[in-house]
Amino acid sequence: MLLKNASILYGKDLQYIENTDIRISGQNFKKIKQNLASSKGEERLDCQGLVIIPGFVNAHTHIGDSIAKDVSLESTAEARIHPIHGIKSKILKNTKPAQLANFMKNSCLSMIKNGITTFADFREGGLEGVLLLKKTTSTLPIRSIILGRVEYYQKQKEIIQKASFAQSKKKELDAILQKCDGMGVSGANEYSDSALKYYSETKKIRAIHSAETEQSCVMSKKMTGKSETQRCLLLKPHFLVHMTHASKKDLCLTARKTSGIVVCPRANAALAEGIPDIEMMIKTGNTVAIGTDNVMINSPNMFREMDYLWKVSMAIHKKRIDAKQILKMATSNAGKILNKKIGSIREGYLADCVIIDKHAIELEPMHNPHASIVHRASESTIKAVMIGGRMTHGKL
């Protein structure tokens, strides 16, 4: 396929190129250059008036709770999402798999319509939960990165005594990891140092929630004398999620010991937990990506996430984060953190992209493409979505 006369956001830095051509071969971007001649039999599409951006990478989701949208809005964060006694946990345990699959599918379809081409999901429910999500996404074009977990949580006494990871759960963990892309651990406050170190020996992606709530940070200090983030790093995680209440010291440690941080601003705000300090994260050397978190709390919409982060950062810190930087969080930074060839329009990368109408009434005139996409674009401005070289939504 040859896309002609397109404006694009190119490479990991999202360089705006006014007019160029893109050749796609199989699932990948093969060549990006002006005046490419079409080959015999090659499909050719004129993209005049369109801007092609990388497909969004939603770097942290929990789509299993799609069935519980806006349940118990007035409850605290702990009451709603705690992995043991939270409302969400009870709903998931009492929902039939077929019902759950149907609502997860709807969330995936919603993500595709809004330009999300890959999502990384912390999947609850053990092996059955992983297999259910795999089955749900098997007939959909969206790319999923499934991070499973063992439904095993240690008691406070075991954590203080640094009890070992339960022998009876080791085979279960191995079985889960054989069927998914890695581990999405609920948090350090449910495990001893010994258990976290055991998790660190697994060979696939490792990620963990950290410093999401003030309560969890206080609990870690009280139980162990260490910050929650310090304990999370015992997992040797590839990335941490949230870090809303992380100290500068913890952010410096994270920059040295992980690939980055995934923030979820709207979910944090909805739970009255504040807004992550993106500027400090960047200053301390962290690569930052964006996720939309629980569907129970938040819509899986990256346009809304970027717009909210752009404006609330200005409101709180009186200094706006550069729109290009936020767009990188939703695309190329996420690809870097996940160590996948996604999130960038560049040769050799997966041909995932969102094709936007520059002349849409919400966008025209587009003086600053990065800002326009971050705080003006929406589902209505999308002409088409491509995943792996195939048009999966809309048409040109």
Banded pLDDT at 75 (limits 50, 70, 90): low
- Encoded tokens for 193: 């140092």
Nearest to 266, CA basis, from 289, 298, 294: 298
Q: Same structural domain for residues 297 and 179?
A: yes
What contacts 171, CB < 8 A, 6 or more positions away?
none
The residues that bridge with 240 in the sheet, in sequence order, are: 208, 261
Q: Is the pLDDT of residue 298 over 60?
A: yes
Burial 20-30 (b: 16+ CB within 10 A, else e): bbbbbeeebbb
**Looking at 89-103, 252-266, 280-294, 311-325, which range is the least confident one?**
89-103
Q: Same structural domain for residues 98 and 17?
A: no
Q: Is the pLDDT of residue 21 over 70?
A: yes
- Encoded tokens for 105: 């599918």
**Looking at 31-35, 68-72, 80-84, which range is the least confident one?**
80-84
Banded pLDDT at 99 (limits 50, 70, 90): confident
Per-residue pLDDT, 133:
97
Per-residue pLDDT, 152:
93
Per-residue pLDDT, 95:
75
Per-residue pLDDT, 229:
98
CATH at residue 378: 2.30.40.10
Per-residue pLDDT, 208:
98
Nearest to 324, CA basis, from 277, 282, 291, 276: 282
Q: Same structural domain for residues 265 and 375?
A: no
56-62 vs 116-122, strand pairing mode: parallel
Q: Is the pLDDT of residue 289 over 80?
A: yes
Give the H or E element holding residue 92: helix 87-93
In the three-class reduction of DSSP (H, G, I as helix; E, B as strand; rest coil), residue 116 is classed as: strand
Q: Same structural domain for residues 228 and 276?
A: yes
The pLDDT of 335-341, averaged and rounded, is 98
Q: Same structural domain for residues 327 and 355?
A: no
Owning domain of residue 25: 2-55+344-394
CATH at residue 188: 3.20.20.140
**Whole-number Cα distances in Å, 227 to 189, 210, 232:** 10, 10, 9
Whole-number percent of the chain with pLDDT over 90: 87
Per-residue pLDDT, 82:
62
Q: Same structural domain for residues 74 and 182?
A: yes
Alpha helices of 180-247 — where are they, by DSSP H?
193-199, 214-224, 228-232
Cα 157 to Cα 175: distance, rounded to the nearest angstrom:
28
Q: Is the pLDDT of residue 96 over 90?
A: no
Cα 252 to Cα 285: distance, rounded to the nearest angstrom:
7
The pLDDT of 96-122, averaged and rounded, is 94
The pLDDT of 336-362, averaged and rounded, is 98
The pLDDT of 204-222, averaged and rounded, is 96
- Which amino acid, one-letter code, is at 208? I
Q: Tell me: the pLDDT tens digits for 122-173? A: 999 999 999 999 999 999 999 999 999 999 999 999 999 999 999 999 999 9
- Encoded tokens for 188: 């350090």
Nearest to 380, CA basis, from 117, 118, 114: 114
Per-residue pLDDT, 86:
65
Q: How many domains does the chain have?
A: 2
Give the H or E element holding residue 19: strand 15-25
**DSSP per residue over 24-86, as a string?**
EETTEEEEEETTPPPPTT--EEE-TTEEEEEPEEEEEEEGGGGGGTTTTTTS-HHHHH-TTTS
The answer to whether 249 and 47 have CB atoms below 8 angstroms apart is: no
> Whole-number mean pLDDT of the chain?
94
Q: Is the pLDDT of residue 74 over 80?
A: no
**Looking at 94-103, 135-144, 309-318, which range is the least confident one?**
94-103
Cα 18 to Cα 24: distance, rounded to the nearest angstrom:
19
**DSSP per residue over 239-298, as a string?**
EEEE-TT--HHHHHHHHHHSSEEEE-HHHHHHTT-----HHHHHHTT--EEE--EETTTS
Q: How would you classify residue 243: left for phi > 0, otherwise alpha for psi between -120 and 50, otherwise beta?
A: left
Q: Tell me: the pLDDT tens digits for 40-69? A: 889 999 999 999 999 999 999 999 888 877
Q: Same structural domain for residues 113 and 37?
A: no
In the three-class reduction of DSSP (H, G, I as helix; E, B as strand; rest coil), residue 364 is classed as: coil
- Domain edge (last residue) among 314, 338, 362: 338
Q: Same structural domain for residues 9 and 109?
A: no
Tokens 């994260």 correspond to 281
Q: What are the backbone dihedrals phi and psi of residue 275, each rounded to the nearest 5 degrees, phi first? A: -125, 135
Q: Same structural domain for residues 17 and 94?
A: no
Whole-number percent of the chain with pLDDT over 70: 94
- Which amino acid, one-letter code, is at 51? V
**DSSP per residue over 132-189, as a string?**
HHHHHHTTSSSEEEEEE--S----HHHHHTTPPPPGGGHHHHHHHHHHSSEEEE--GG
- Domain edge (last residue) among 313, 338, 363: 338
- Which pTM value belongs to this model? 0.94
Q: Same structural domain for residues 95 and 143?
A: yes
Q: Same structural domain for residues 189 and 273?
A: yes
Q: Tell me: the pLDDT tens digits for 241-283? A: 999 999 999 999 999 999 999 999 999 999 999 999 999 999 9
Per-residue pLDDT, 80:
57
**Whole-number Cα distances in Å, 253 to 221, 259, 293:** 17, 11, 24
Q: Same structural domain for residues 128 and 232?
A: yes
The pLDDT of 64-93, averaged and rounded, is 69
Per-residue pLDDT, 246:
97
Residue 365: is the preceding peptide bond cis (ω within 30°)?
yes
Q: Would you give the DSSP letter of residue 2?
A: E
Q: Is the pLDDT of residue 97 over 90?
A: no
